[in-house]
Amino acid sequence: MTRSVVLVTGGAGYVGSHACKALALSGYLPVTYDNLSTGWSDAVKFGPLERGDIMDAWRLRDVIERHNPVGVMHFAAHSNVGEASEVPDKYWKNNLMGSLTLIETMLSQGVGSLVFSSTCAVYGNNESAILTEETPLGPLNAYGASKLATEQMISNFVGSHGMSASIFRYFNVAGADPDAEIGEFHRPETHLIPRVLDVAMGERDTLTINGSDYPTRDGTCVRDFVHASDLANAHIEGLEWAMDNPGHEVFNLGSGGGFTVREVIDAAEQVTGRKVPTIGGPRRDGDVATLVSGSTKASAVLGWLPANSTLEQMVRDAWRWHQRPGYNE
Ligand SMILES: NC(=O)c1ccc[n+]([C@@H]2O[C@H](COP(=O)([O-])OP(=O)(O)OC[C@H]3O[C@@H](n4cnc5c(N)ncnc54)[C@H](O)[C@@H]3O)[C@@H](O)[C@H]2O)c1
């Protein structure tokens, strides 16, 4: 039986590769479109890789014509917050202009269903610790701003071009495929759990905790972590929603619970059976005490549940992936 194709931009990256596995398990054929700027060809295991840039309309058109996808999942972006403050033009070009090129091209080829990876960074430094889709927006850097601008651009296309879209604002993505076929591998790595596990592995000597005087239960920041496989499943539901419904919807994707940096370190020590030495560092600019998704919209509308997003499971799956042979080569 021929499988329906879904074009996955950024499918060679962390979240995109998990989405490709979920698509394959759901009976779709994921076609990854990726320039491998931060992704890895060996993460493309569940369908073909078409190497290309989302800014390259000719290449995109050729790939869409040949594969005839029923929809697009759009992960391709730059997402290093620190870098975004240093070279904002890189973020505006890739994240906003790249998305415009992709959307124009898919619509010109008659493909109208889109799932877009946005971020809780669109909320910025908010007064409220618990964020819903109605929380006021105010991104603090070119990363969050370029994602919010893309959300707004998509809403305009939905209104005037008959496109449908699910927009997902992820909180902190964590964990790895429970079968350890794919996982997180950013270079440089800025995310907490792999950094903690690097220390457990002996790849780094210590972990710096930035700020231990926040008004939280142990003084360290609280963040909402969501398992990459749960997120991947949400993308199937979001794609099918977009294929069946007109318009667009924005959904927060988090577990709805928060863990402190200290709790993540404790969980890593328990799972790995190893010590994670820490040193105290200053607060980082722009870090707020607590960022947690307070939304149940994704479960109400899409039927999505973050079933694997316990701290223990996210750390255990990440650790299994972290220990695979050749991880750091
Ligand atoms: N990982 C997180 O915690 C997190 C949180 C919020 C939002 N997001 C969003 O999710 C998406 C995926 O994040 P990730 O952590 O998997 O990042 P990643 O860097 O692992 O994956 C991004 C992929 O996009 C590709 N890419 C980048 N620019 C491209 C271009 N111009 N043309 C073609 N391919 C291109 C990269 O090569 C890479 O494979 C991003 O849009 C990111 O902003 C991630």
* pLDDT tens readout for residues 179-227: 999 999 888 888 999 999 999 999 999 999 999 999 999 999 999 999 9
Please check whether residue 285 lies inside any domain of the structure: no
Is the confidence at residue 327, as pLDDT, over 80? Answer: no
Sheet order of strands, 113-119 included: 49-51, 29-34, 5-9, 71-74, 113-119, 164-170, 247-253
Please check whether residue 140 lies inside any domain of the structure: yes
* pLDDT tens readout for residues 30-73: 999 999 999 999 999 999 999 999 999 999 999 999 999 999 99
Pocket of ligand 1 (CB under 6 A): 9-10, 12-16, 34-39, 53-55, 75-77, 79, 94, 98, 117, 119, 170, 172-173, 186
Cα(11) to centroid(ligand 1), Å: 8
Mean of the pLDDT values across residues 80-94?
Answer: 93
* pLDDT tens readout for residues 218-266: 999 999 999 999 999 999 999 999 999 999 999 999 999 899 999 999 9
From the alpha carbon of 174, which atom of ligand 1 is closest?
3
Of 196, 174, 321, 167, nearest to 257 by C-alpha is 174
Cα(152) to centroid(ligand 1), Å: 19
Structure tokens at 314: 């996210």
Please check whether residue 184 lies inside any domain of the structure: no
Cα(124) to centroid(ligand 1), Å: 19
Residue 93 CA, chain-centre distance (Å), reads 19
- Per the structure, the complete domain to which residue 123 belongs is given by 5-174+226-253
Q: Which pLDDT does position 145 carry in this prediction?
A: 96
Instruction: Evaluate if pTM is beyond 0.85.
Output: yes
Cα(41) to centroid(ligand 1), Å: 14
Size (the chain), residues: 329
User: Which residues face 292 on adjacent strands?
Assistant: 130
Task: Give the pLDDT band (50/70/90) at residue 94.
Answer: very high
* pLDDT tens readout for residues 120-173: 999 988 777 789 999 999 998 999 999 999 999 999 999 888 899 999 999 999
Please check whether residue 204 lies inside any domain of the structure: no
Please check whether residue 58 lies inside any domain of the structure: yes
From the alpha carbon of 186, which atom of ligand 1 is closest?
20
CATH of residue 60's domain is 3.40.50.720
By annotation, the residues acting in catalysis are 143
Which residue is closest in CA terms to ligand 1's atom 42?
A: 79
Q: Match 């750390």 to its residue by tokens.
A: 315
Tally of structural domains, the chain: 1
- Cα 242 to Cα 236: distance, rounded to the nearest angstrom: 10
Is the confidence at residue 284, as pLDDT, over 90? Answer: no
> What are phi and psi for residue 286, nearest 5 degrees?
85, -10
